């Protein structure tokens, strides 16, 4: 099946992304990797009138430590997180889980935050994020919305997930594979 017709915008900054979301409201959805959203659109379970691509928003493509937290930007591909020495060293649960998410072709396009924004159960990442007590950081056209624990995540359509964070006490979480 094919998706319903839609418009496409490709802003180049986070400010432009949140402005587009504010302008189009509930009719807009963010597109990064599309591995969660596009199948929903093809089945017509999601029918956004406007797709707002963040793929030109390079300021959202980073993995770093900040204030004793592992921070993953909204544009980080799953394969980049999977192969990141920083993720491997600081968050071994995420590094161990990522090779089991879909197929390599899916991980080459899919983003870590996209799976979380959609709470896609097929991506396995929401379960990992819940175990790590990860927080999503949201922003909107009027400024930062704040941090939102994934367990309480109800995405405001005017807000964009810009990153997810795992605190220092959780990045070293141990488990039995």
Token pair in block for residue 133? 């007590």
Q: Which residue has the tokens 């493509």?
A: 61
Between CA 95 and CA 160, with CA 60 as vertex, the angle to 5 degrees is 100
Closest CA to 32 of 86, 112, 90: 112
Distance CA 99, CA 44 (A): 29
Per-10-residue mean pLDDT, the chain, length 177: 92 90 88 88 92 93 86 92 93 90 88 80 78 78 65 48 51 40
The confidence score (pLDDT) of residue 81 equals 94
- Per domain, the residue ranges of the chain are 7-171
Computed from CA positions of residues 52, 109, 71, 58, in that sequence, does the dihedral angle turn out positive or negative?
A: negative
pTM across the whole model: 0.81
The confidence score (pLDDT) of residue 165 equals 56
Distance CA 46, CA 114 (A): 15
Contacts 24+ apart (CB under 8 A), 100-103: 100/124, 101/125, 102/35, 102/78
The confidence score (pLDDT) of residue 61 equals 92
Overall CATH class of domain 7-171: alpha beta
The confidence score (pLDDT) of residue 145 equals 66
Helix (H) or strand (E) holding 53: strand 50-53
Q: Which residue has the tokens 């490709």?
A: 10
């Amino acid at each position: 099946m094919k998706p319903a017709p839609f418009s496409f915008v490709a802003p180049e900054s986070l400010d432009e992304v949140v402005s587009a979301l504010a302008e189009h409201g509930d009719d807009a959805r963010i597109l990064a990797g599309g591995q969660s959203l596009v199948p929903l659109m093809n089945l017509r379970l999601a029918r956004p009138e406007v797709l707002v691509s963040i793929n030109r928003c390079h300021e959202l493509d980073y993995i770093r430590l900040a204030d004793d937290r592992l921070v993953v930007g909204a544009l980080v591909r799953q394969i980049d997180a999977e192969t990141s020495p920083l993720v491997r060293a600081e968050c071994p649960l995420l590094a161990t889980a990522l090779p089991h998410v879909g197929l390599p072709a899916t991980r080459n396009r899919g983003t870590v935050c996209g799976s979380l924004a959609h709470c896609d159960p097929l991506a396995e990442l929401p379960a990992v994020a819940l175990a790590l007590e990860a927080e999503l950081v949201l922003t909107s056209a009027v400024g930062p919305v704040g941090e939102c624990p994934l367990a309480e995540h109800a995405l405001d359509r005017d807000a964009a997930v810009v990153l997810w964070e795992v605190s220092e006490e959780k990045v070293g979480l141990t488990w039995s594979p």
